Amino acid sequence: MGKERLEQNLIDQMKEAQLKLGFEEETMRLYYPVASLNLLLGTNCETAKEMVTELTALFADRKSVLGAMSFRVSAGRIEVSVPPEGAKYVHEHMGDVAFLKAIIDLFSNPHDKSVGDVKAVFEKFGAYVCEEMPEGSDFDEALHFEDPSVDEYYYCVKEEMGHLIYHRFLKEDYQKLL
């Protein structure tokens, strides 16, 4: 189960990057903290080196829609390198990303936007929950869909200096923020 969940998360992150930056058939590098990979994989690795060993063994068969990935420690995080054929796979098999595209479009011009604008995008796609973040948090609000099949991520937003920013988290990573 963990391998498939990680692959799906990689695909989701690559979709987001391709929508923001465009598609290039090139190696994509994504960076994960060990704790996030432990959540995705259901493992208990304590160090980045242990996680690289775990990932290398898990993907030793090289059977992934993303191709032959490689893993290494980079500044205390895990760098996952997805080869060009993986980037191409994501580009060609992205599926329905209407919500993600709408959010990225909203944030492509973050000036004069508000949390209300984010709520309006969520509202177009289904029932959602909006929670105020605790005092001292890096974010103002967190939004997610009641039905995770629409989009499973928690979108944390912040208004600062006339700009609106967001970061999306897996439910488990979001819960760790709190």
pLDDT digits (tens, 9 = 90+) for 103-146: 999 998 867 888 999 999 999 999 999 999 998 889 999 999 99
Q: Which DSSP letter does residue 133 get?
A: P
pLDDT tens digits along 22-51: 999 999 999 999 999 999 999 999 999 999
CA 93, 97, 98: angle at the middle one, nearest 5? 145
**Smallest Cα–Cα separation from 51: which of 73, 81, 84?**
73
pLDDT tens digits along 149-158: 999 999 999 9
pLDDT tens digits along 65-98: 999 999 999 999 999 999 999 999 999 998 778 9
- pTM, to two decimals: 0.90
Q: Which DSSP letter does residue 140 get?
A: S
> How many beta carbons lie within 10 A of that of residue 79, not counting itself?
16
Q: What is the pLDDT of residue 110?
A: 66
**Smallest Cα–Cα separation from 86: which of 12, 4, 27, 23?**
27
C-alpha 36/C-alpha 23 separation (Å) is: 26
Confidence of residue 1 (pLDDT cuts 50, 70, 90): low
The one-letter amino acid at 149: S
Confidence of residue 177 (pLDDT cuts 50, 70, 90): confident
Tokens found for residue 53: 């060993």
